[in-house]
Amino acid sequence: MVEQRTILSPPQARGPQRLLVFLPPRRNWVRGALGAATSLRILRVRSDGVSEEEGSTISRLAGGRPVELVFDALDVFVAQVQTPRLSEARLRQALPNLLEERVLADPADYHFAWQPAAGASKSDTTLALSVAAIDRSTLARALEAFAQAQVPVRAAYSQMALVPAPRGGDFAVIVAQDRALLRLGPDAACSFELDGGASTALGLAQAQQGLQRLQVYGPAAAIAAAAAPLGIAVESASAAIDADALASALNLLQGSFATSTGYGAAGRLLARVRRTGSWKAPALWAAVCVLILVGGLNAYWWKLDQQYQAVRASMRHTFQDAFADEPTIVDPLAQARRAVLALRVRAGLASADDFSVLNAQALRLFAELPMGIVERIEYAEGKLIVRCRSATLDNPALRNTLQARATSAGLALRFEGETAVQLAPAGG
């Protein structure tokens, strides 16, 4: 006898509303790609766990909230593997080799996503992973179709992840249109047509897996009719999917397909560029940044130029006030230095760059050096050049000592090769 009843669970808050978009099987895509007018099955999961189903197209979803894609179970290979604890980069390189004999096509054509399997312990030396593999071009074309319609994609799952895995004799099946998907284990499922295939699939699951009770997500009439002769108890779920199973589902958008919807328009732009390699948008942003940079530099240069002109004007006015007899002003600073020097000479005061002053400072500077090393002294344009015999000044310690003494005496010292030293007033 078949028991049919509806399981009603109390509403639970599960965060904001989620929008699930069920993609048609890859074999049904027109010319190998999705179009803006492709019919889609949409499932709105409210915050209280209640789901509402409707139909739509990609173009009608434009401008709305981010969506979550659901791929047909036959388009996604799912398995569990045991691997050593590796970094994400090394694990991504190792997975194609680990699953090479289990996938049908070349592993290089697949995109792999994974998460720790249920019950995995962080202290184990090996790690149990739930791994999903999908054809890279299939995933890329689906994401590109939604990107062209400006529909942000937050996540992507296999249809198998929307119903719970079996526990003991309790199994779950999800029904969509004329097909059903029976979950047989954490990484196994059976897809069959309702018309003619339901009895065979349920009979095999009963004989091989110990199927006793079946919970149906979606229309349960066809499943109940096929389960009745087998004595399988059928329970109709209150929702089209299991919210708890969806919360722990394996997200296919990892690695190079990871989304950036959490970072707004800039994040979606970067994610799209990473998937499609489009250069127009980043080139436009780069041009805007260059314009801002160039404009900012020119504005800053104009500000500094105005300040420079103001300082020059102030210097000219100060020079004119102090030396009104000067007929022409070309370089106020240099002319002021020469005028001050002339005033000191007329007053009988020695200037800092006079020969006598520099010569006396040079004598104190070279007082502790060996006698006879100075060959000659030259004076020109307020600078004293002391030339020594042979390579006397090639000693680094001696150079450092002379430089330190010159600085403390208010002199600017510069070495000219290994035999000459130039002295001048500091700041002159």
pLDDT digits (tens, 9 = 90+) for 118-160: 766 665 677 888 889 999 899 999 998 888 888 889 899 999 8
Shortest CA distance to 354 belongs to which of 280, 257, 424, 417? 424
- pLDDT above 50: residue 270: yes
pLDDT value of position 260: 56
Q: Is 267 exposed, middle or buried (0-12, 13-18, 19+ CB in 10 A)?
A: middle
The residue that leads in pLDDT, 325 or 81, is: 81
* N- to C-terminal Cα separation, the chain: 111
Domain topology for 4-163+241-276: Nucleotidyltransferase; domain 5 (3.30.420)
The rounded distance, in Å, linking the Cα atoms of 215 and 224 is 10
Write the DSSP string, 371-413.
Answer: TT-EEEEEEETTEEEEEESTTGGG-HHHHHHHHHHHHHTTEEE
From residue 57, give the alpha-carbon distance in Å to each of 34, 146, 239, 305, 307: 10, 10, 23, 60, 62
Helix or strand or coil: residue 36?
coil
| CA dihedral (282, 284, 285, 290) positive or negative | positive
Domain extents in the chain: 4-163+241-276, 283-330, 355-425
116-127 burial: b if 16+ Cβ within 10 Å, else e: ebeeeeeeeeeb
The rounded distance, in Å, linking the Cα atoms of 43 and 241 is 9
Compute the C-alpha angle 80/83/84, nearest 5°.
160
Residues 163/242, Cβ–Cβ less than 8 Å: yes
pLDDT value of position 304: 93
Helix or strand or coil: residue 102?
coil
Alpha helices in 47-150, H assignment, sequence order? 88-98, 136-148
The residue that leads in pLDDT, 298 or 1, is: 298
Shortest CA distance to 244 belongs to which of 302, 316, 294, 172? 172
Alpha-carbon dihedral 306, 311, 313, 319, rounded to 10 degrees: -170
Confidence of residue 350 (pLDDT cuts 50, 70, 90): low
- pLDDT above 50: residue 248: yes
The residue that leads in pLDDT, 97 or 234, is: 234
The side-by-side arrangement of strands in the sheet containing 110-116 is: 76-84, 126-135, 110-116
Please, what is the average pLDDT of the chain?
A: 80
pLDDT value of position 267: 53
- pLDDT above 50: residue 405: yes
Confidence of residue 173 (pLDDT cuts 50, 70, 90): very high
Looking at domain 355-425, which of 3.40.462, 1.25.10, 3.90.1070, 1.10.1060 is its CATH number?
3.90.1070
The strand pairing partners of 380, in sequence order, are 383
pTM of the entire structure? 0.56
List CB contacts of 150: < 8 A, sequence separation 6 or more: 62, 63
The rounded distance, in Å, linking the Cα atoms of 226 and 194 is 9
3-state secondary structure 169-198: CEEEEEEECCEEEEEEECCEEEEEEHHHHH
Compute the C-alpha angle 416/422/425, nearest 5°.
145
Shortest CA distance to 58 belongs to which of 78, 79, 39, 86? 39
| CA dihedral (101, 117, 257, 176) positive or negative | positive
pLDDT value of position 12: 41
List CB contacts of 208: < 8 A, sequence separation 6 or more: none
Shortest CA distance to 41 belongs to which of 61, 27, 63, 65? 61
The residue that leads in pLDDT, 101 or 7, is: 101
The H or E element that residue 281 is part of is helix 280-322
